[in-house]
Amino acid sequence: MSRVLLTGGTGYIGSHTAVSLLENGHDVVVIDNLVNSREDSIRAVEKLMNAKIPLYIGDLRDEELLERIFRENEIDAVIHFAGLKAVSESVYKPLEYYQNNLDSTLVLIREMLKNGVTRLVFSSSATVYDPANDPERVEGMPTGNCTCPYGWSKFMIEQIIRDCCHAYPQLSAIMLRYFNPVGAHPSGVIGENPQGIPNNLMPYIQQVAVGKLDHLNIFGNDYETKDGTCVRDYIHVCDLADAHVKAFDYLLKNDSCCLEINIGSGHGVSVMELVTAFEKANDMKLPYQFAPRRAGDLPIFFANADRARELLGFETHRSVEDMCRDAFNYQQKAQKQ
Ligand code: NAD
Ligand code: UDP
């Protein structure tokens, strides 16, 4: 049995990854400062999986706390989710974003090396790709020209990790470039429920579906796409969670690697298609109207998923309908609490 430290493990993707790791026979330990999550999520995972999860509530930049975690737990790898992630907020709070996301990574890697922990999986993002690329994103394509400090923080952290892998060959790292994670665990006990009005499409749809918001605004219907609305690569969060288990397994078998790997379905889905799938999966009508384009949106991008399949043996299994059904189920449960 192996033990994995999840930084930011009470968050949306971290909590789902905790489930996948436990399902695959691994133990997990969590550190989170609860800046964008609640302790409840990890308690829900404990209940769901009948497991005990040590949770350290504190900041990743706290070196003493990290020392303590590494001393008290024999850690085989770290999956580094912790970070601030709101694209628009990062534009007016760049210092907070760079300070939090970069400093926490620097402290983490330093403490890992000091404590002989040499395997790292990092939550990167499709946003690191230069927007000028072809819509099908392949790992070797140029990165940069990011549109916000959040994107640049991911770009910079990737470079920091590559530099560290080069300087400290004992370190192995996989940077997972997520596309658009959506949905929730089918139990409905964990999921994504942002505070305030959601910026992202699926959380917004979820809130319209339960009547918390009265209609969806579809930003732009005059793009050069199949139906005029933007196309993205949505991935069920449970599939994404499974990708982390595969990445961890890969690191257990391969020393001294430093890889960037796209994690998406490999297929583009338009906003209109997602709305229709949501209506079908949940047998309901979603009120929507077309609104002007949102500044900065690209018409189309989706993952080339070959590297994930070839290196990690990872493929997605859940459909767009599964994403929509599980997202709605979670939102209904969250609404009642
Ligand atoms: P989330 O906000 O739900 O989880 C991140 C967690 O990190 C939160 O629980 C937060 O409290 C914690 N955190 C932040 N700064 C911390 C610090 N200094 N010390 C300790 N804990 C800290 O976000 P998520 O959607 O689960 O995303 C996880 C990771 O994946 C993030 O790094 C995010 O940038 C990345 N990512 C997310 C998406 C997405 O659409 N959700 C897409 C691409 C990449
Ligand atoms: N979108 C929309 N209405 C919303 C939120 C998003 O039409 O209320 C569109 C958005 O313009 C984009 C797609 O949905 O084309 C996905 O947006 P999201 O913010 O979820 O992901 P990202 O654009 O960051 O990939």
pLDDT of residue 336: 78
At residue 334, φ and ψ (nearest 5 deg) are -65, -35
Compute the distance between CA of residue 97 and CA of residue 153 in angstroms, rounded to an integer.
7
Average pLDDT over residues 102-123: 98
Residue nearest to atom 9 of ligand 1 (CA): 11
Name the active-site residue from 12, 56, 150, 204: 150
Share of the chain above pLDDT 70, in %: 100
CB of 191 closer than 8 Å to CB of 182: no
Which pTM does this prediction carry?
A: 0.98
Average pLDDT, integer, range 287-295: 96
**Mean pLDDT value across residues 91-106:** 98
- Average pLDDT over every residue of 162-171: 97
Cβ–Cβ under 8 Å, residues 50 and 44: no
pLDDT at position 193: 82
**CB distance 85 to ligand 1 below 6 Å:** yes
Q: Are 118 and 172 in contact (CB under 8 A)?
A: yes
Half-sphere exposure of 265 (CA within 13 A, CB side): 20
Q: Contact at 8 Å (CB) between 189 and 48?
A: yes
Please report the atom of ligand 1 found closest to the CA of residue 10.
9
Task: Name 324's Cβ contacts closer than 8 Å, sequence gap at least 6.
Answer: 183, 274, 277, 278, 280, 281, 282
Q: What separation in Å is there between the alpha carbon of 182 and the centre of ligand 2?
A: 12
Reported as a pLDDT band with limits 50, 70 and 90, residue 335 is confident
Alpha carbons 114 and 128: distance in angstroms, whole number: 29
Euclidean distance between CA atoms 206 and 210, whole angstroms: 7
Whether 330 is a known active-site residue: answer: no
Could you read off the pLDDT of 180-235 as tens digits, one per residue?
999 999 999 999 988 889 999 999 999 999 999 999 999 999 999 999 999 999 99
Handedness of CA 297, 202, 57, 22 (dihedral sign): negative
Name residue 121's amino acid.
Answer: V
| Mean pLDDT value across residues 103-125 | 98
Phi-psi region of 64 (alpha: psi -120 to 50; beta: other; left: phi over 0): alpha
Task: Mark out the alpha helices in 36-147 (DSSP H runs).
Answer: 39-49, 63-72, 87-92, 94-114
Nearest CA to ligand 2 atom 5: 201
258/172 Cα distance (integer angstroms): 6
User: Measured from the CB, is residue 34 less than 6 Å from ligand 1?
Assistant: yes
Output the average pLDDT for the chain.
Answer: 97
Residue type for 312, please? Answer: L
- Express each pLDDT in 27-72 by its tens digit: 999 999 999 999 999 999 999 999 999 999 999 999 999 999 999 9
Q: 108 near 100, Cβ under 8 Å?
A: no
The closest residue, in CA terms, to atom 6 on ligand 1 is 8
If residue 327 lies in a helix (H) or strand (E), which one and from where to where? helix 320-336
If one compares 328 and 336, the residue with the highest pLDDT of the two is: 328
d(CA 18, CA 66): 19
Mean pLDDT of all residues in 150-177:
98
Query: Nearest to residue 129, comparing CAs of 151, 153, 102, 150?
Result: 151
Question: Which residues contact residue 295 at a Cβ distance below 8 angstroms, ignoring those fewer than 6 apart?
Answer: none
Q: What letters, b where the CB count within 10 A reaches 16 and e where it falls short, cover 83-99? A: bbbbbebbeebeeebbe
| CA of residue 149 to ligand 2 center, whole Å | 18
Report CA(35)–ligand 1 centroid distance (Å). 9
Give the pLDDT score at 196.
Answer: 86
DSSP 8-state class, residue 131 = T
- For ligand 1, atom 35, name the residue with the nearest CA: 123
Q: Which amino acid is at 58?
A: G
What is the model's pLDDT at position 233?
A: 98
pLDDT of residue 195: 82
At residue 194, the pLDDT reads: 82
Q: Whats the size of the chain, residue-wise? A: 337
| 273 backbone dihedrals φ, ψ, rounded to 5° | -65, -40
Ligand 1 within 6 A of CB of 16: no
Confidence bin at 337 (pLDDT 50/70/90): confident
